[in-house]
A and B are shown apart, each in its own frame.
Chain A
């Protein structure tokens, strides 16, 4: 399909690449302004306490301190830090500074000073008197009778059941699950419990604020959601949206943790109060425990099937630990069901229940995969168990049951993000080919169930399949503006937010394709709320599909304007024209360059600016698909696990830029392998994180990665720009179930609690 395109389908260099590889100061933290104040935050030492008194007088007297902020002198508005569309589906349970602290590291005060060292010294001079409360450090403690109430404030809103520490709840039910499970020929049940983990972008959160010449507040910030930042800042600080300009420069990775308004309010208020520029950058430790995490979950899946392997019922029950605040809790736990259950659409009876539970631990947030990661683990392990019980090959069982083009699932409509979803029929999928290719490359037929041994090592292979979405249908909107310049170059202005994914490049390629020019003719500018049109931001795997469709539409509108001008110049019908190589070319071969068209429109006759703005909201959210296969070997004497080979075959429709698309899968699989084998935030009995640095919280290094083969298997999504769907999130869902199934194939043990460390494997071997 992609051979019909010129720019789309090419692995173009990134449009921002030169600046990135030459070390240009392009990140928010590189902005060094004269007179800039440095902000440091005092975090709570208690997991759960009331603030009885704060005395900041000594801190304020310290030489070089400009301002100290606490609950005593800041707005009391309740809001959510979740950077979501308005009105947000997350509870308003957060204050800039509260009179109660709910996890170790929760905000107590902030100091702005001439240097960061002075600011930190001032923090140590703030005297806080706490009334400690009983901490709630697990889901079970939170749900116990007479558990302490974490959100007992009377001005919060949108909490499902504060009295029982339930932040959010969602249900969906199709058919009669209990009845079908009872009568099923085969049934299995598996509970998987995923752990606290952190995104660990190499750039921590950083924001710089200053007042422009007209007194407006300007923020350079490492965010995925500049327009949501602007709206939420206005809400929290009580100033009009028009007083705020948010610019996202290059950012050093997001993965969801920057879909949150975590520090912008502080630099904003410091700068408004002092009139001076200010800067706040989280330390690595703060990034770990005081920003956002993946919501840990306990998810139980029950499956029932006939003797032929056709699924009769799927039941999924999810309990989610949202930590001290409810940011994203409802939507993440909704996605645990909504992004997994439609994959097996053959089951006529499907039930889902999800609950977000408050605890006095760090706060969950958006994290690549967004709940689907937590759901796919038990679902795909249960599928393996079912295959074993039926005596059927695990790949074959999935082939029988997975969704195909032209089919639908009732779950699409029954379960959206914290509310009903939208009905959709699958328009594109190459999942079958992905499965075939993956099985072949890993050597499935030769290796599965064989337990090949070499010395103490025993081999196993495992697999899992996945879908995600492409944006939040009927909610998330993106817009793009395109205009033509004198020399035939094109400005592309997009609210969309490039986190490092390369979306500026991908969106530029879409515009270039429609307008018949090379990517070098497109000048891409993104993520400046004063300059670029609205976009909800980079989350929910939306940018290529949602923002890409907006770009395609804007480019089509500009193309028509070019045709109008060119047809007058060539004295021909607009219908006889097409764009190619920077020219408008008529059927008879005569042509004018885009520069000539632009010059005429700007200086010649009937002048106007050739340009257009277009918007897009998806009616559907076309899922990308992925088949994941791994071969592992386990040393049965020590429990050491090595991944011998990992293969991921993915369907993202048309890959607009194949290398960038592959890179998304490679990075997501790497992050997922870290989550499956290494990464876990550990806490002591006081709720303090015990490993808040890269020395103790290990993320995969180059030497930790196994051989990884990523294969893109094209399909063509008619509703997508040039046939494209999303790709960024899906890969992270795969390693936990794939490796759990491979471990079982090798040693016959079902592990329930990632990370699957050597110690856990060794213990399981001792007990088996």
Chain B
């Protein structure tokens, strides 16, 4: 089966029962986290053709021909996506385990809505459980990143 992860093409055999989460971690994309194995927590979120899905309950086989983006693919090595930078600047990262999934949800949100309200951000993060932050600073981070990205677009 052929598919791309972060613009890298893979052509490999896939175990019929495997989830996309299993497959991605086997390929070395350890930024995709397993928090519940049940589609509840969102730590395993990735983009499949620009749409965020929970990879733990997404069959690996269904990714055939698809473009997948994980947290590792958000910015070139050594640099940060504006969302990643904003998460650090606002203190939105505590343990960091839910952060990759939150970033993926946020990327998808800002793609469609470059100036989201607080409630729109909260709605976008609804599927990403976080036990550390209470969501205050992640929401702030996403709005900060959105503002910074709008500024860059205007320049």
Closest-by-CB residue of A relative to B92 is: A663
Could you tell me the distance between the alpha carbons of A710 and B140 in the complex, rounded to whole angstroms? 14
Over the window 27-39 of chain B, the binary record of Cβ atoms lying under 8 Å from chain A Cβ atoms (1 yes, 0 no) is: 0011111111110
Bound-state CA distance A21–B98 (Å) is: 10
Task: Tell me whether A3 is interfacial, beta carbon within 8 Å.
Answer: no
| Chain A 501-516 interface residues, beta-carbon cutoff 8 Å to B | 501-502
Q: Is B21 an interface residue (CB 8 A)?
A: no
Q: Are A659 and B131 in contact (CB under 8 A)?
A: no
Contact of A694 with B by CB under 8 A: yes
Tell whether, in the assembled complex, residue B134 and residue A703 are in contact, meaning their CB atoms are under 8 Å apart.
no
B87 to chain A, nearest CB (A): 5
Q: How far is the CB of B44 from chain A (nearest CB, A)?
A: 11
Residues 656 to 707 of chain A near chain B (Cβ within 8 Å): 657, 659-660, 662-663, 666-671, 693-695, 699-703, 705
Instruction: For A499, give the chain B residue with the smallest CB separation.
Output: B95
For A23, the chain B residues whose CB sits under 8 A away are: 29-32, 70-72, 100
B137 touches A666 (CB 8 A): yes
Which residues of B lie under 8 Å from residue A466 when comparing CB positions?
none
Complex Cα spacing A27 to B98, Å: 12
- Does A284 lie within 8 Å of B35, measured CB to CB? yes
Q: Mark A620-664, 1 if CB is under 8 A from B, else 0.
A: 000000000000000000000000000000000000010110110
B58 in the interface (beta carbon within 8 A): no
Which A residues are in CB contact (< 8 Å) with B138?
702
**Known interface pairs A22-B80, A22-B84, A663-B133. Does A693 touch B94 (Cβ–Cβ under 8 Å)?**
no
Is the contact region of chain B dominated by helix, strand, or loop, or is it mixed? loop
**Does A693 lie within 8 Å of B40, measured CB to CB?**
yes
**Contacting residues, chain A, for B139 (C-beta < 8 A):** 702
In the complex, A427 has a CB within 8 A of chain B: no
Query: In the bound complex, do residue A250 and residue B96 qualify as a contact, i.e. CB atoms below 8 Å apart?
Result: yes
Other-chain residue from B32, B40, B70, B93 in contact with A21 (beta carbon distance below 8 A):
B93
What residues of chain A lie closer than 8 Å to B37, measured between beta carbons? 283-284
Report the minimum CB–CB distance from B101 to chain A (whole Å). 9
Nearest residue (CB) in B for A657 is B91
B91: which of A29, A284, A663 is its contact (CB, 8 Å)? A663
Q: How far is the CB of B121 from chain A (nearest CB, A)?
A: 8
Is A25's beta carbon under 8 Å from chain B? Answer: yes
- Least CB distance from A729 to B in Å reads 13
Measured CB to CB, the nearest residue on chain B to A11 is B91
Closest CB in chain B relative to A718 CB, distance in Å: 27
Is B95's CB under 8 angstroms from A708's CB?
A: no
Provide the B77-93 mask, 1 if CB < 8 A to any CB of A, else 0: 00010001001111111
Residues of A within 8 A of B36 (CB): 284, 693-694
Could you tell me if A703 and B94 are in contact, using CB atoms closer than 8 angstroms?
no
A204 at interface, CB cutoff 8 A: yes
Docked complex: A527-559 residues within 8 A CB-CB of B: none
A355 at the interface (CB under 8 A from B): no
A199 interface contact, C-beta 8 A: yes
In the complex, whether B107 has a CB less than 8 A from a CB of chain A is no
- What CA separation (Å) do A699 and B35 show in the bound complex? 13
> A64 contacts the other chain (Cβ, under 8 Å)?
no
Q: Does A414 contact B (CB under 8 A)?
A: no
B32 in contact with A253 (CB, 8 Å): no
Q: Is B99 among interface residues, defined by CB-CB distance under 8 A?
A: yes
Closest to A29 in B: B34
Within the assembled complex, what's the spacing in Å between the Cα atoms of A499 and B95? Answer: 6
Does A203 lie within 8 Å of B88, measured CB to CB? Answer: no
Is the Cβ of A14 less than 8 Å from the Cβ of B95?
Answer: no
Determine the chain A residues whose CB is within 8 A of the CB of B132 once the complex forms.
Answer: 253, 500, 663, 667
The answer to the question of A313 belonging to the interface, with a C-beta cut-off of 8 Å to chain B, is no
Chain B contacts for A30, CB-based, 8 A: 30
Interface hit among B60-68, B122-130, B147-155: B122-130
Flag if A501 contacts B94 (CB, 8 Å).
Answer: yes
Q: Are A705 and B135 in contact (CB under 8 A)?
A: yes
**Residue A18 CB within 8 A of the other chain:** yes
Q: Which residues of A contact B92 (CB under 8 A)?
A: 663
B26: min CB distance to chain A, Å? 9
Q: Report the separation of the CA atoms of residues A13 and B96 in the bound assembly, to the nearest whole angstrom.
A: 13
Instruction: Report which residue of B34, B70, B75 has the largest number of chain A beta carbons within 10 angstroms of its beta carbon.
Output: B34
Given contacts A202-B35, A203-B95, contact A667 B123 (CB under 8 A): no
Which residues of A have CB within 8 Å of B96?
16, 20-21, 26, 250, 252, 500
Contact check, B98 vs A701: say whether CB atoms are below 8 A apart.
Answer: no
- CB-based contact A659/B91 at 8 Å: yes
Bound complex: CA A695 to CA B90 (Å): 30
Pairwise interchain contact B88-A200, C-beta atoms closer than 8 A: no
Determine which residue in A660, A663, A666 has the highest number of CB atoms from chain B within 10 A of its CB, and name it: A663
- Inter-chain CA distance A339–B96, complex, in Å, is 30
In the assembled complex, the CB of B97 is this many whole angstroms from the nearest CB of chain A, namely: 3
Residue of chain B at shortest CB distance from A663: B91
Docked-complex contact B38 and A695, CB < 8 angstroms: yes
Report the Cα distance A657→B88, complex, angstroms.
Answer: 13
- Which B-chain residue is minimally distant from A203 (CB atoms)? B97
Q: How far is the CB of B139 from chain A (nearest CB, A)?
A: 7
A403 to B95, CA, bound (A): 34
Q: Which residues of A contact B137 (CB under 8 A)?
A: 659, 662-663, 666
B80 to chain A minimum Cβ distance, whole angstroms, is 7
Q: Which of B32, B99, B123 contacts A20 (CB 8 A)?
A: B99
Option from A11, A20, A199, A670 in Cβ contact (under 8 Å) with B134: A670
Decide: A24 and B31 in contact? CB cutoff 8 A. Answer: yes
- Whether A250 and B134, one on each chain, are in contact in the complex, defined by CB atoms closer than 8 angstroms, is no
- B48 close to A (CB within 8 Å): no
- Say yes or no: B126 contacts A666, CB within 8 Å: no
Given contacts A21-B84, A666-B137, contact A202 B98 (CB under 8 A): yes
- Name the distance in Å between A509's Cβ and chain B's nearest Cβ: 13
Given A13-B89, A18-B80, A701-B126, also A667-B134 (CB < 8 A): yes
B interface residues with partner A (beta carbon < 8 Å): 29-38, 40-41, 43, 70-72, 74-75, 80, 84, 87-100, 103, 121-123, 125-139
In order of increasing CB-CB distance, the 6 nearest A-B pairs are A23-B31, A500-B95, A670-B134, A252-B97, A20-B96, A659-B91
10 A/B residue pairs, CB under 8 Å, sorted by A: A22-B75, A25-B31, A30-B30, A202-B129, A252-B98, A500-B132, A663-B136, A670-B134, A693-B40, A701-B126
Binding site for B on A (CB under 8 A): 11, 13-14, 16-18, 20-27, 29-30, 32, 199-204, 250-255, 283-284, 499-502, 657, 659-660, 662-663, 666-671, 693-695, 699-703, 705, 708, 710
| Besides A25-B30, A500-B132, A502-B91, 8 new A-B residue pairs in contact (Cβ under 8 A), listed by A number | A13-B89, A14-B88, A22-B80, A202-B35, A252-B98, A253-B94, A254-B95, A663-B94
